Structure 1
Amino acid sequence: MALKRKKFKEINLADAFFDSLKADYKEFGEWFAKKGEHTAYVFHGEDEAIQAFLYLKVEEDALDDLTPGLPAARRLKVGTMKVNPHGTRMGERLVKKIFDHAVEENVSQMYVTIFPKHAALVALFRRYGFAKIADKHTANGSEDVLARNLNNESKDILYRYPSVSLSSPAYLLSLYPVWHTRLLPDSILKTEKAAIIEDVSHTNSIHKVYLAAMKGMDVLKAGDLLMIYRTNDGAGAAYYRSVATSICVVEEYRSIHSFRNENDFLSYCQSYSVFTDEELTSFWKYKKYPHVIRFTYNIAMPRRVTRGELIDSVGLDANAYWGFMPITGNQLRAIADLGEVNESLIVD
């Protein structure tokens, strides 16, 4: 089942999923009923039971109900977020949705209020740069207020996510269609069916692991940029059908030979890789794909940029090997412009 956006009136408040929220917030049922026409993201499991819920709200007023209070500003409030843990990193996918909305709504800050007892949720937000800035005291108890500015100049890759810096080396990395859609769900093409995006960890996660055999990839290091290029799907000429879809940031490069043993390799790859355990075991045995890259999924381009445009408008060499090749910061900027990427995400 896919992550869907639904009106509150279409969501079953009686689902057991909401019991803990009703226990934490005495007014939750009344609040939920009043939201009728508002929308939230919902994920249903195979048994139709709700497994994840995310409600976001843009605010512009001063936050006088916090200690200390905050002045008026355009903010994105994470009104409600809950995930039933089921081993698929759905929480990371919801965090990505929060950032996506923050960019779309052009807000200066994102914030969430959380009871400290929800340690796993607190840790998830802190991982991506949210920090405590205030307290919120109500009849329900005291909550921590965690906030994160959208444009964070931290050197930490996750604290500045999803922004990318053009001062970093950049490379084109090609993916076959079958791997592309599973690995980068928000970069799905209009000609593809959303149903093929499954609720699995490598799909949901902000973090990705990919194995390849293309020459030259051992130059990659943390902070390098990857412009993801989806290769031809066979339905037409590559000039029109092969497209740039996404911009990612390398977290780590490793050679397959750097792992101590098979278990070490499998542990590193399983949660974030599109490959099955059987495929990974085979990769370990034969070492056919020696390059192991872990990267963050930062930007899904609103508009896909065709191979033809990459050659004619950006100046990429049509005769070069497009599996993996360096591109300049100016070329990446041109691709981002053609891909209609929000300017706030690209830092010179």
Structure 2
Amino acid sequence: MELKLTRFDSIDFNDVFFDSLKEDYEEIPQWFEKKSLAGDSAYVFSEEGGAIDGFLYLKVEEGIVSDIVPPLPYGRHVKVGTLKINAHGTKLGERFLKKIFDYVVASNAEDVYVTVFEKHAALILLFERYGFEKYGNKVTKNGVEWVLYKQLSNIPNDVTKRYPVVMAKDRRKYLLTIYPEFHTRLFPDSILKNEDPQAIIKDVSHTNSIHKVYICKLYGANQLKCGDVIVIYRTGDNVSPAWYSAVATSICVIQEVVLLGSFKTVDDFLQYCLPFSVFSEIELRKFYKEGKYPYILRFSYNYALPKRLNRATLVTDCGMVDDRWGCTELNDKQFSRILEMSKANENIIIN
């Protein structure tokens, strides 16, 4: 199962998934046909049997957005044109939100907005959690919709509300190493070209979620604090030398670090870790019993680096010491060089 960009004319509009949209929006059959004839595409998430479980249409709007009250000022905006998700406890909503933010960043847009009926309370709460605020209303023959709006230049103190923006200025930075088998499952947008997304990206919580939990015993991991910025480093593939195959792939932000010993029971531990961890319940129970991995890191997956820097580049061009890396602190110069060489978007990382 995959979140896939699909042409409208390849989507089965008769799928029962679209029934509620047809009830809410009288004109949606004509809209769908128009998009099909134009060759437009949307993001679709389907079950193994082919039934649709999620649908997302995005578009860039230039200028003033005048069909809402109050209008959005002149600028480059992303509109979440249509979004519906069948929620079933796998954080699929977060996966779609991440795709929305990825689209905003790639489009060099200044903001993003969505219109939604007040009755869709769970969807509204999801958007509000990530910094969307009620901006106004949109009135059509279908009724009154809320306009939820997020401006990237608005940087709240809450690390979740300001997602995907990374506040790196005056924050500590670290390189965090993760083995390939765990890296790929945790960071589906940061897979390498020689990995098979069809076999890896599945509808499970740790893949879909913006938030990740990683359990480790890396030296120095206990010193991480909320707001610290981490560069994810995928270790070598054991086929090619790590000098060439180990790479920096992603930028994340620490939310909290919890010690294994702080959980009074295994059930408390499972409740915290299971929805966001790459490890199975059996593995987690074993970790809790044996106590070999004392640090539980929770962080947000903010940004997949456009260009992956291998170990050779990190050492020779970014000033890192050729040593055994685990949770290794970066100075500002090293971090800035990593951003520069990886061609990171300056609007998403404030350094």
TM-score range, shorter chain: over 0.9
Task: Decide which of 39, 57, 60 is 1:58's aligned counterpart.
Answer: 60
Is 1:281 the counterpart of 2:285? The answer is: yes
Is 1:293 the counterpart of 2:293? The answer is: no
Q: 1:151, 1:104 → 2: CA distance? A: 16
Secondary structure (helix, strand or coil) at the match of 1:72 reads: strand
1:305 Cα offset (Å): 0.4
For structure 1, which segment, 327-336 or 298-307, has the greater mean C-alpha deviation from structure 2 after superposition?
A: 327-336
Give the RMSD, CA atoms, in angstroms. Answer: 0.9
- 2:230 corresponds to: 226
- 1:157 corresponds to: 159
1:112 partner letter: V
Secondary structure (helix, strand or coil) at the match of 1:311 reads: helix
| Count of residues in Structure 1 that have an aligned counterpart in Structure 2 | 347
1:329 Cα offset (Å): 2.2
Secondary structure (helix, strand or coil) at the match of 1:41 reads: strand
Secondary structure (helix, strand or coil) at the match of 2:279 reads: coil
Identical-residue share of aligned pairs (%) = 50
- 1:193 corresponds to: 196
Task: Decide which of 328, 345, 349 is 1:346's aligned counterpart.
Answer: 349
Q: 1:273, 1:173 → 2: CA distance? A: 16
Q: 1:214, 1:158 → 2: CA distance? A: 25
Q: 2:158, 2:332 → 1: CA distance? A: 20
1:142 partner letter: V
Instruction: Could you tell me which runs of 5 or more consecutive residues in structure 1 were left unpaired when the two chains were aligned.
Output: none
- 2:17 corresponds to: 17
Instruction: Could you tell me which runs of 5 or more consecutive residues in structure 2 were left unpaired when the two chains were aligned.
Output: none
1:242 Cα offset (Å): 0.3
Alignment of 1:117-132 (within 5 A): 117-132=119-134
Q: 1:186, 1:331 → 2: CA distance? A: 24
Is 1:272 the counterpart of 2:276? The answer is: yes
Alignment of 1:111-150 (within 5 A): 111-150=113-152
For structure 1, which segment, 211-220 or 125-134, has the greater mean C-alpha deviation from structure 2 after superposition?
A: 211-220
Is 1:212 the counterpart of 2:243? The answer is: no
Secondary structure (helix, strand or coil) at the match of 2:253 reads: strand
- 2:339 corresponds to: 336
Is 1:258 the counterpart of 2:235? The answer is: no
- 2:175 corresponds to: 172
- 1:74 corresponds to: 76
Secondary structure (helix, strand or coil) at the match of 1:179 reads: helix
TM-score by length of 1: 0.98
TM-score by length of 2: 0.97
Q: 1:67, 1:236 → 2: CA distance? A: 57
8 A Cα contact 1:54 1:82, kept in partner: yes
For structure 1, which segment, 179-188 or 159-168, has the greater mean C-alpha deviation from structure 2 after superposition?
A: 159-168
Secondary structure (helix, strand or coil) at the match of 1:124 reads: helix
Q: 2:121, 2:190 → 1: CA distance? A: 31
For structure 1, which segment, 151-160 or 12-21, has the greater mean C-alpha deviation from structure 2 after superposition?
A: 151-160
1:343 Cα offset (Å): 1.1
